[in-house]
Amino acid sequence: MDTEMGRRPIGVFDSGVGGLTVLKELIRQLPNERYVYFGDMARTPYGTKSKQTVTRFSKQIASFLQSQGVKAIVIACNTASAVALEDIERDFDLPVIGVVKPGAKTAADTTNSGHIGLIGTEACISSGIYESYLQTYRPDVRLTGRACPLFVSLVEEGCIEDPVTTEIARRYLSAFKDTDIDTIIMGCTHFPMIEDTIQRVAGENVRLVNPAYETAKETKILLKENDLLNTEDIPLDEEAYRFYVSDAPERFRRIADLFLPLSISGAKQIHIEDY
Ligand code: DGL
Protein backbone atom coordinates (compact mmCIF):
# COMPACT_ATOMS: atom_id res chain seq x y z
CA MET A 1 0.00 0.00 0.00
CA ASP A 2 1.07 3.56 -0.68
CA THR A 3 1.31 4.67 2.97
CA GLU A 4 1.04 8.39 2.29
CA MET A 5 -2.23 7.89 0.42
CA GLY A 6 -3.52 5.41 3.00
CA ARG A 7 -3.00 7.92 5.80
CA ARG A 8 -5.23 10.48 4.14
CA PRO A 9 -8.73 10.96 5.61
CA ILE A 10 -12.05 9.81 4.19
CA GLY A 11 -14.41 12.71 3.39
CA VAL A 12 -18.00 12.29 4.61
CA PHE A 13 -20.81 14.76 4.08
CA ASP A 14 -24.49 15.44 4.65
CA SER A 15 -26.89 18.39 4.72
CA GLY A 16 -26.46 18.45 8.51
CA VAL A 17 -26.11 16.00 11.38
CA GLY A 18 -27.74 13.01 9.64
CA GLY A 19 -24.52 11.77 8.08
CA LEU A 20 -23.16 11.18 11.58
CA THR A 21 -25.20 7.94 11.58
CA VAL A 22 -23.01 6.80 8.68
CA LEU A 23 -19.82 8.17 10.21
CA LYS A 24 -20.56 6.20 13.39
CA GLU A 25 -20.72 2.96 11.40
CA LEU A 26 -17.64 3.87 9.36
CA ILE A 27 -15.67 4.41 12.59
CA ARG A 28 -16.92 1.04 13.89
CA GLN A 29 -15.96 -0.89 10.76
CA LEU A 30 -12.91 1.17 9.78
CA PRO A 31 -11.34 2.26 13.09
CA ASN A 32 -7.92 2.84 11.54
CA GLU A 33 -9.14 5.59 9.26
CA ARG A 34 -9.05 9.34 9.65
CA TYR A 35 -12.20 11.32 8.77
CA VAL A 36 -13.19 14.79 7.65
CA TYR A 37 -16.94 15.40 8.10
CA PHE A 38 -18.85 18.29 6.61
CA GLY A 39 -22.42 19.18 7.67
CA ASP A 40 -24.17 21.80 5.55
CA MET A 41 -26.07 23.29 8.50
CA ALA A 42 -26.61 26.60 6.69
CA ARG A 43 -28.43 25.08 3.73
CA THR A 44 -30.26 22.15 5.30
CA PRO A 45 -32.73 20.63 4.39
CA TYR A 46 -31.75 19.28 0.99
CA GLY A 47 -34.81 17.09 0.63
CA THR A 48 -37.15 19.90 -0.44
CA LYS A 49 -34.71 21.42 -2.97
CA SER A 50 -34.27 20.80 -6.69
CA LYS A 51 -31.81 18.37 -8.24
CA GLN A 52 -29.80 21.32 -9.65
CA THR A 53 -29.46 22.97 -6.27
CA VAL A 54 -28.54 19.80 -4.36
CA THR A 55 -26.02 18.90 -7.09
CA ARG A 56 -24.43 22.35 -6.90
CA PHE A 57 -24.18 22.14 -3.09
CA SER A 58 -22.77 18.61 -3.28
CA LYS A 59 -20.11 19.57 -5.80
CA GLN A 60 -19.01 22.52 -3.65
CA ILE A 61 -18.67 20.18 -0.68
CA ALA A 62 -16.74 17.62 -2.74
CA SER A 63 -14.34 20.45 -3.75
CA PHE A 64 -13.92 21.45 -0.14
CA LEU A 65 -13.23 17.85 0.91
CA GLN A 66 -10.76 17.47 -1.93
CA SER A 67 -8.98 20.61 -0.70
CA GLN A 68 -8.62 18.79 2.65
CA GLY A 69 -6.71 15.98 0.93
CA VAL A 70 -9.30 13.22 1.29
CA LYS A 71 -8.63 9.88 -0.40
CA ALA A 72 -12.32 8.98 -0.95
CA ILE A 73 -15.75 10.52 -0.47
CA VAL A 74 -18.75 8.96 1.25
CA ILE A 75 -21.96 10.81 0.43
CA ALA A 76 -23.70 10.21 3.75
CA CYS A 77 -26.97 11.67 2.50
CA ASN A 78 -29.65 9.80 0.54
CA THR A 79 -30.86 12.96 -1.17
CA ALA A 80 -27.40 13.93 -2.46
CA SER A 81 -26.65 10.27 -3.32
CA ALA A 82 -29.91 10.11 -5.30
CA VAL A 83 -29.34 13.21 -7.39
CA ALA A 84 -25.61 14.06 -7.38
CA LEU A 85 -23.60 10.82 -7.17
CA GLU A 86 -23.02 10.53 -10.93
CA ASP A 87 -21.90 14.17 -11.25
CA ILE A 88 -19.43 13.82 -8.40
CA GLU A 89 -18.08 10.53 -9.77
CA ARG A 90 -17.61 12.20 -13.14
CA ASP A 91 -16.07 15.46 -11.95
CA PHE A 92 -13.78 14.26 -9.15
CA ASP A 93 -10.91 11.88 -9.56
CA LEU A 94 -11.61 10.04 -6.29
CA PRO A 95 -13.45 6.89 -5.26
CA VAL A 96 -17.00 7.97 -4.33
CA ILE A 97 -19.71 5.98 -2.59
CA GLY A 98 -23.34 6.85 -1.87
CA VAL A 99 -25.80 5.31 0.59
CA VAL A 100 -28.70 4.40 -1.71
CA LYS A 101 -27.28 1.37 -3.49
CA PRO A 102 -26.11 -0.29 -0.24
CA GLY A 103 -29.51 0.47 1.35
CA ALA A 104 -31.41 -1.11 -1.54
CA LYS A 105 -29.21 -4.20 -1.41
CA THR A 106 -29.81 -4.68 2.34
CA ALA A 107 -33.57 -4.26 1.93
CA ALA A 108 -33.70 -6.76 -0.96
CA ASP A 109 -31.88 -9.28 1.24
CA THR A 110 -34.13 -8.58 4.24
CA THR A 111 -37.71 -8.74 2.98
CA ASN A 112 -39.69 -11.98 3.04
CA SER A 113 -43.04 -10.63 1.87
CA GLY A 114 -41.42 -8.82 -1.08
CA HIS A 115 -43.16 -5.58 -0.11
CA ILE A 116 -40.81 -2.86 1.16
CA GLY A 117 -41.63 0.55 2.62
CA LEU A 118 -39.36 3.51 2.00
CA ILE A 119 -39.25 6.62 4.16
CA GLY A 120 -37.09 9.54 3.12
CA THR A 121 -37.10 13.08 1.87
CA GLU A 122 -39.35 14.37 -0.90
CA ALA A 123 -36.42 14.54 -3.33
CA CYS A 124 -35.18 11.05 -2.58
CA ILE A 125 -38.61 9.40 -2.87
CA SER A 126 -39.54 11.21 -6.08
CA SER A 127 -36.17 10.44 -7.73
CA GLY A 128 -37.23 6.78 -8.02
CA ILE A 129 -33.64 5.76 -7.33
CA TYR A 130 -34.45 3.09 -4.73
CA GLU A 131 -36.84 1.40 -7.19
CA SER A 132 -34.10 1.32 -9.85
CA TYR A 133 -31.53 -0.31 -7.59
CA LEU A 134 -34.07 -2.72 -6.08
CA GLN A 135 -35.01 -3.84 -9.59
CA THR A 136 -31.42 -4.88 -10.21
CA TYR A 137 -31.26 -6.95 -6.99
CA ARG A 138 -34.79 -8.38 -6.88
CA PRO A 139 -37.17 -7.54 -9.73
CA ASP A 140 -40.08 -9.17 -7.83
CA VAL A 141 -40.18 -6.65 -4.95
CA ARG A 142 -42.73 -3.88 -4.55
CA LEU A 143 -41.86 -0.54 -3.00
CA THR A 144 -44.21 1.91 -1.28
CA GLY A 145 -42.64 5.28 -0.51
CA ARG A 146 -43.64 7.93 2.00
CA ALA A 147 -41.88 11.29 2.24
CA CYS A 148 -41.24 12.25 5.89
CA PRO A 149 -39.68 15.73 5.65
CA LEU A 150 -40.51 16.79 9.23
CA PHE A 151 -38.29 14.04 10.66
CA VAL A 152 -35.26 15.95 9.32
CA SER A 153 -36.16 19.15 11.19
CA LEU A 154 -37.03 17.24 14.36
CA VAL A 155 -33.60 15.59 14.37
CA GLU A 156 -31.83 18.86 13.55
CA GLU A 157 -33.71 20.38 16.50
CA GLY A 158 -32.52 17.56 18.75
CA CYS A 159 -36.06 16.16 19.33
CA ILE A 160 -34.77 12.59 19.53
CA GLU A 161 -37.03 11.13 22.27
CA ASP A 162 -39.98 13.47 22.14
CA PRO A 163 -43.80 13.07 22.08
CA VAL A 164 -43.95 15.37 19.05
CA THR A 165 -41.67 13.02 17.11
CA THR A 166 -43.84 10.05 18.10
CA GLU A 167 -47.01 11.81 16.94
CA ILE A 168 -45.48 12.77 13.59
CA ALA A 169 -44.18 9.20 13.17
CA ARG A 170 -47.74 7.87 13.75
CA ARG A 171 -49.08 10.09 11.01
CA TYR A 172 -46.37 9.27 8.51
CA LEU A 173 -46.28 5.53 9.14
CA SER A 174 -50.06 5.13 8.98
CA ALA A 175 -49.41 4.81 5.22
CA PHE A 176 -47.91 1.37 5.93
CA LYS A 177 -50.50 0.06 8.39
CA ASP A 178 -52.59 -2.94 7.27
CA THR A 179 -50.21 -3.78 4.44
CA ASP A 180 -47.85 -6.74 3.98
CA ILE A 181 -44.79 -4.46 4.27
CA ASP A 182 -42.26 -6.29 6.46
CA THR A 183 -39.22 -4.06 5.85
CA ILE A 184 -38.84 -0.30 5.95
CA ILE A 185 -35.77 1.43 4.53
CA MET A 186 -34.69 4.47 6.53
CA GLY A 187 -33.87 6.28 3.29
CA CYS A 188 -32.59 9.41 4.99
CA THR A 189 -29.48 9.39 7.13
CA HIS A 190 -31.17 11.54 9.78
CA PHE A 191 -33.74 8.83 10.55
CA PRO A 192 -31.57 6.27 12.41
CA MET A 193 -31.25 8.92 15.14
CA ILE A 194 -34.96 8.40 15.86
CA GLU A 195 -34.89 4.68 15.06
CA ASP A 196 -36.37 3.67 18.45
CA THR A 197 -39.42 5.85 17.86
CA ILE A 198 -39.86 4.65 14.27
CA GLN A 199 -39.54 1.01 15.38
CA ARG A 200 -42.06 1.46 18.20
CA VAL A 201 -44.61 3.03 15.87
CA ALA A 202 -43.99 0.63 12.95
CA GLY A 203 -44.34 -2.41 15.21
CA GLU A 204 -42.01 -5.23 16.11
CA ASN A 205 -42.83 -7.32 13.03
CA VAL A 206 -41.26 -4.72 10.74
CA ARG A 207 -37.51 -4.73 10.12
CA LEU A 208 -35.90 -1.32 9.79
CA VAL A 209 -33.02 -1.05 7.32
CA ASN A 210 -30.25 1.42 8.10
CA PRO A 211 -28.10 1.68 4.93
CA ALA A 212 -25.07 2.73 7.03
CA TYR A 213 -23.92 -0.82 7.78
CA GLU A 214 -23.70 -1.90 4.13
CA THR A 215 -22.27 1.51 3.12
CA ALA A 216 -19.37 1.10 5.54
CA LYS A 217 -18.83 -2.47 4.33
CA GLU A 218 -18.72 -1.31 0.72
CA THR A 219 -16.43 1.59 1.61
CA LYS A 220 -13.95 -0.90 3.00
CA ILE A 221 -14.12 -2.96 -0.21
CA LEU A 222 -13.68 0.16 -2.34
CA LEU A 223 -10.65 1.30 -0.34
CA LYS A 224 -9.12 -2.17 -0.57
CA GLU A 225 -9.65 -2.32 -4.33
CA ASN A 226 -7.95 1.06 -4.71
CA ASP A 227 -5.13 0.10 -2.35
CA LEU A 228 -6.14 2.90 0.03
CA LEU A 229 -6.98 1.06 3.23
CA ASN A 230 -5.04 2.29 6.26
CA THR A 231 -3.80 -0.57 8.40
CA GLU A 232 -1.59 1.46 10.77
CA ASP A 233 -2.93 2.47 14.19
CA ILE A 234 -3.96 6.09 14.44
CA PRO A 235 -3.84 8.42 17.44
CA LEU A 236 -7.45 9.21 18.42
CA ASP A 237 -7.00 12.95 18.44
CA GLU A 238 -8.57 15.97 16.81
CA GLU A 239 -6.46 15.46 13.72
CA ALA A 240 -8.01 12.03 13.14
CA TYR A 241 -11.62 13.32 13.28
CA ARG A 242 -12.15 16.76 11.81
CA PHE A 243 -15.57 18.38 11.68
CA TYR A 244 -16.65 21.32 9.53
CA VAL A 245 -20.00 23.04 9.14
CA SER A 246 -21.41 25.91 7.11
CA ASP A 247 -23.29 27.26 10.16
CA ALA A 248 -24.32 26.59 13.78
CA PRO A 249 -21.16 24.81 15.01
CA GLU A 250 -22.40 24.71 18.61
CA ARG A 251 -25.71 23.02 17.70
CA PHE A 252 -23.79 20.55 15.55
CA ARG A 253 -21.42 19.72 18.42
CA ARG A 254 -24.30 19.16 20.86
CA ILE A 255 -26.00 16.62 18.61
CA ALA A 256 -22.73 14.99 17.56
CA ASP A 257 -21.78 14.57 21.21
CA LEU A 258 -25.05 12.79 21.93
CA PHE A 259 -24.60 10.45 19.06
CA LEU A 260 -20.95 9.65 18.34
CA PRO A 261 -18.77 7.26 20.33
CA LEU A 262 -16.26 10.07 20.80
CA SER A 263 -16.53 13.48 22.26
CA ILE A 264 -15.81 16.26 19.80
CA SER A 265 -14.34 19.52 20.92
CA GLY A 266 -16.02 21.49 18.20
CA ALA A 267 -16.76 21.97 14.53
CA LYS A 268 -15.09 24.61 12.43
CA GLN A 269 -17.32 26.93 10.44
CA ILE A 270 -16.31 27.55 6.84
CA HIS A 271 -17.80 29.51 3.95
CA ILE A 272 -18.84 26.73 1.60
CA GLU A 273 -19.91 29.08 -1.22
CA ASP A 274 -16.19 29.80 -1.76
CA TYR A 275 -15.66 26.28 -3.14
N1 DGL B 1 -29.83 13.34 5.58
C2 DGL B 1 -30.32 13.57 4.31
C3 DGL B 1 -30.75 12.38 3.53
O4 DGL B 1 -30.24 11.31 3.80
C5 DGL B 1 -30.90 14.90 3.93
C6 DGL B 1 -32.04 15.40 4.70
C7 DGL B 1 -32.39 16.79 4.21
O8 DGL B 1 -31.50 17.64 4.26
O9 DGL B 1 -33.52 17.01 3.78
O10 DGL B 1 -31.52 12.47 2.63
- For residue 124, the ligand 1 atom closest to its alpha carbon is 10
- Do β-strands 142-147 and 115-120 pair in parallel, antiparallel, or remain unpaired? parallel
CA of 3 to the centre of ligand 1 (A): 34
Residue with CA nearest ligand 1 atom 2: 77
The predicted pLDDT at position 15 comes to 97
Cβ-based neighbours of 225, under 8 Å, separated by 6 or more: none
The predicted pLDDT at position 65 comes to 98
* Predicted confidence (pLDDT) at residue 177 exceeds the cutoff of 60: yes
Q: Which residues are catalytic?
A: 77, 188
CA of 187 to the centre of ligand 1 (A): 9
pLDDT digits (tens, 9 = 90+) for 195-218: 999 999 999 999 999 999 999 999
d(CA 73, CA 61): 10
CA of 66 to the centre of ligand 1 (A): 22
Q: pTM for the full model?
A: 0.96
Q: List residues near ligand 1 (CB under 6 A).
A: 14-15, 18, 44-47, 77-79, 120-121, 124, 152, 188-190
**One CATH from 3.40.50.1100, 3.40.50.10470, 3.40.50.450, 3.40.50.1860 for 100-211:** 3.40.50.1860
- Domain residue spans in the chain? 3-98+213-274, 100-211
pLDDT digits (tens, 9 = 90+) for 157-173: 889 999 999 999 999 99
Q: Is 2 exposed, middle or buried (0-12, 13-18, 19+ CB in 10 A)?
A: exposed
* Predicted confidence (pLDDT) at residue 220 exceeds the cutoff of 80: yes
Do domains 3-98+213-274 and 100-211 share one topology? The answer is yes
pLDDT digits (tens, 9 = 90+) for 31-78: 999 999 999 999 999 999 999 999 999 999 999 999 999 999 999 999
**One CATH from 3.40.50.720, 3.30.420.40, 3.30.428.10, 3.40.50.1860 for 3-98+213-274:** 3.40.50.1860
pLDDT digits (tens, 9 = 90+) for 95-154: 999 999 999 999 999 999 999 999 999 999 999 999 999 999 999 999 999 999 999 999
